[in-house]
Amino acid sequence: MTERKVRVRFAPSPTGALHIGGVRTALYNYLFARQHNGDLIFRIEDTDSNRFVPGAEEYIIESFKWLGIKFDEGVSFGGEHGPYRQSERRDIYKKYVQQLLDTDKAYIAFDTPAELDAKRAEIPNFQYDAHTRGSMRNSLTLSKEEVDNLIANGEQYVVRFKIEPNEDIHVNDMIRGDVVINSSILDDKVLYKSADELPTYHLANIVDDHLMEVTHVIRGEEWLPSAPLHVLLYRAFGWADTMPQFAHLPLLLKPDGKGKLSKRDGDRLGFPVFPLEWHDPKSGEVSSGYRESGYLPEAVLNFLALLGWNPGNDQELMTLDEMVQLFDIHRCSKAGAKFDYVKGIWFNHEYILKMSDEKVAEMFMPILKEHGIEAPMDKVVTVVGLMKGRVNFVKELWDTCKFFFVAPTEYDAKTVQKRWKEDSAEMMGKLADLLESLDDFSIENQEKVVMKWIEDNGYHTGNIMNAFRLTLVGEGKGPHMFDISAVLGKEETLTRMRRAIEVLK
Ligand code: GLU
């Protein structure tokens, strides 16, 4: 067999916001595609009209745009294997359903929901399969005429997959190895419903993966139970030779305790589980998103990449390109990955540090504007450079840095009590005079002159600096003192000092 070009797909159902676990699945598909010079397809699996949520598709597309995950083909991207929205592929599926019927791999069933309920009540653990199908209303028990008549009379039906019992089915999973399941535990899955003239997920998924020449199916662990059925479908169609290789990714687990990560965990512990803010069109409920919460997309991707995989050493910070180089699907863990959202915050901090001061300043500018501050860019860049190491989110820069832009109107009582001594007012007066005499207000010159002044007079450095800080900041925090005074400039520094002396003396 000739080597096939690697083709993978991310195939969400538009049933609501994209869960963060889905983002990780898409990311792993992206990394896999890129590192094999393959294609990444974006397919919308919208055959379940009951669960369709308007706006979900657009939301998903916008999420990946924000994250910087690019698809090669698919809904909104185009390509030669379209249409990529399953609801637009009805005719294609009909043909393949017919193929299964013609080859006796599937059959038509007329059992109504009421009839099925009655069977379930009658037979404990009822399953529609090789043991029971002979006693049901289907094309295996009815004559061809009866079947044709029922259909002609407009009776609704489904097409079921005829699963042969007692066979060990092997799913060769790139992460889990050889997974074996006996076919007897599977029921004759519904592949098609006449009522909406649409296939179910299983049929559409297999047909599309085949027609779109998908070589690897990388998806969440919750789909592992469907994999044996999918293997059987490939065989039933005669496509076993080109069956994709599977990889079922580990679950994302609650940050604390056991079980699968849910939206409730996010609400309870205060972190988003969706990439973007989501407005549920039905309930009107608004759920927070990583974007609106101030996360950088690069940080989110880096954080997610390490939930279920690691490069085999301690390296945690990786650009997307580095991840492409290092990613190895075989190194993914089978065990679930705890969703350590605190680590996610740490990643954001690290990415703010890595970002240029200019870029962070650009993001900080609108926040300053919101607070009524119009500051020159070079000042904002300097302040960001001094302060970005202290925040996890750009928006936190306001609280951390506002004293650079707004003079204190009050002085923190505790700090005053501790730091403002008997002679502080007098000392600050002298220091203000000294600073006023300087022509060169650079950090270095201020430091040189002031330190010499302290030394020559035998003053206490700590006392002077603490009081100085209180006059400029209003409390006991902030970076190096002369960094502050240099950014404020001589005039503003002296104004603040003299005002504090007035108020505190
Ligand atoms: N439509 C399925 C989902 O919503 C796709 C599962 C698969 O990748 O096969 O996740």
Domain range for 41 is: 7-73+209-250
CATH assignment of the domain containing 55: 3.40.50.620
Helix ranges (DSSP H) in 153-226? 201-211
Residue indicated by tokens 């379940």: 48
Question: Quick one: pLDDT band at residue 49, thresholds 50, 70, 90?
Answer: confident
Mutational pocket test of ligand 1: of 27, 46, 223, the residue with most ligand atoms within 8 Å of the beta carbon = 223
The total number of structural domains in the chain stands at 5
Do 113 and 191 lie in one domain? The reply is yes
Do 366 and 289 lie in one domain? The reply is no
CATH assignment of the domain containing 495: 1.10.10.350
Mutational pocket test of ligand 1: of 219, 231, 233, 234, the residue with most ligand atoms within 8 Å of the beta carbon = 219
Residue 505 is predicted with a pLDDT of 85
| Residue 71 confidence (pLDDT) above 60 | yes
Question: For the segment 445-489, what is each residue's pLDDT rounded down to a tens digit?
Answer: 999 999 999 999 999 999 999 999 999 999 999 999 999 999 999
Does residue 57 belong to any structural domain of this protein? Answer: yes
- Considering the entire predicted model, what is its pTM? 0.94
| Distance in angstroms (rounded) separating the CA atoms of residues 57 and 53 | 8
Of 217, 250, 283, the residue at which a domain comes to its end is 250
Question: For the segment 74-101, what is each residue's pLDDT rounded down to a tens digit?
Answer: 999 999 999 999 999 999 999 999 999 9
Task: Please give the share of the chain, as a percent, with pLDDT higher than 90.
Answer: 98
Q: Mean pLDDT throughout 336-361?
A: 98
Q: Do residues 236 and 161 touch, judged by C-beta distance below 8 A?
A: yes
Does residue 60 belong to any structural domain of this protein? Answer: yes
Does residue 82 belong to any structural domain of this protein? Answer: no
Which residues lie with the beta carbon below 6 Å from any ligand 1 atom? Answer: 11-13, 45, 205, 219, 223
Q: Mean pLDDT throughout 337-354?
A: 98
Do 117 and 152 lie in one domain? The reply is yes
Query: In the predicted model, what is the mean pLDDT of the chain?
Result: 97
Q: Do residues 130 and 164 touch, judged by C-beta distance below 8 A?
A: yes
Residue 431 is predicted with a pLDDT of 98
Residue 257 is predicted with a pLDDT of 78
User: Atom 2, ligand 1: which residue's CA is nearest?
Assistant: 12
For residue 220, how far is its CA from the centre of ligand 1 (angstroms)? 8
Q: Is 263 a catalytic residue?
A: yes
Q: Which two tokens stand for residue 74?
A: 């698919």
Do 393 and 427 lie in one domain? The reply is no
Do 433 and 491 lie in one domain? The reply is yes
Mutational pocket test of ligand 1: of 86, 201, 212, 224, the residue with most ligand atoms within 8 Å of the beta carbon = 201
Of 404, 423, 439, the residue at which a domain comes to its end is 404
Do 241 and 151 lie in one domain? The reply is no
Of 404, 427, 444, the residue at which a domain comes to its end is 404
Nearest atom within ligand 1 for CA of residue 25: 8
**Residue 6 DSSP one-character state:** P
Does residue 215 belong to any structural domain of this protein? Answer: yes
CATH assignment of the domain containing 322: 1.10.1160.10
Q: Cα 3 to the chain's mean position, in Å?
A: 33
Does residue 129 belong to any structural domain of this protein? Answer: yes
Do 288 and 360 lie in one domain? The reply is no
Residue 214 is predicted with a pLDDT of 98
Nearest atom within ligand 1 for CA of residue 218: 8
Do 297 and 395 lie in one domain? The reply is no
Do 387 and 464 lie in one domain? The reply is no
**Which of the following is catalytic: 119, 193, 263, 343?**
263
Q: State which H helix or E strand residue 247 sits in.
A: strand 245-249
Do 105 and 184 lie in one domain? The reply is yes
Question: For the segment 125-184, what is each residue's pLDDT rounded down to a tens digit?
Answer: 999 999 999 999 999 999 999 999 999 999 999 999 999 999 999 999 999 999 999 999
Find the distance separating the first CA and the last CA of the chain, reported in whole Å: 89
Q: Mean pLDDT throughout 209-232?
A: 97
For residue 12, how far is its CA from the centre of ligand 1 (angstroms)? 5
Residue 427 is predicted with a pLDDT of 97
CA-to-CA dists, residue 8 to 5, 73, 235, angstroms: 10, 11, 20
Q: Mean pLDDT throughout 217-232?
A: 97
For residue 421, how far is its CA from the centre of ligand 1 (angstroms)? 68
Residue 258 is predicted with a pLDDT of 87
Burial 53-84 (b: 16+ CB within 10 A, else e): beebbebbbebbeebebebbbbbbeebebbeb
For residue 294, how far is its CA from the centre of ligand 1 (angstroms)? 29
User: Atom 3, ligand 1: which residue's CA is nearest?
Assistant: 12
| Residue 1 confidence (pLDDT) above 70 | no
| Residue 428 confidence (pLDDT) above 60 | yes
CATH assignment of the domain containing 97: 3.90.800.10
Do 123 and 40 lie in one domain? The reply is no
Question: For the segment 241-274, what is each residue's pLDDT rounded down to a tens digit?
Answer: 999 999 999 999 999 978 999 999 999 999 999 9
Nearest atom within ligand 1 for CA of residue 45: 1
Nearest atom within ligand 1 for CA of residue 226: 9
Residue 2 is predicted with a pLDDT of 66
Nearest atom within ligand 1 for CA of residue 12: 4
Does residue 287 belong to any structural domain of this protein? Answer: yes
Does residue 346 belong to any structural domain of this protein? Answer: yes
CA-to-CA dists, residue 46 to 5, 13, 24, 426, angstroms: 27, 6, 21, 76
CATH assignment of the domain containing 386: 1.10.8
CA-to-CA dists, residue 252 to 14, 270, 323, 338, angstroms: 20, 17, 19, 6
Question: For the segment 398-422, what is each residue's pLDDT rounded down to a tens digit?
Answer: 999 999 999 999 999 999 999 999 9
Do 185 and 133 lie in one domain? The reply is yes
Does residue 314 belong to any structural domain of this protein? Answer: yes
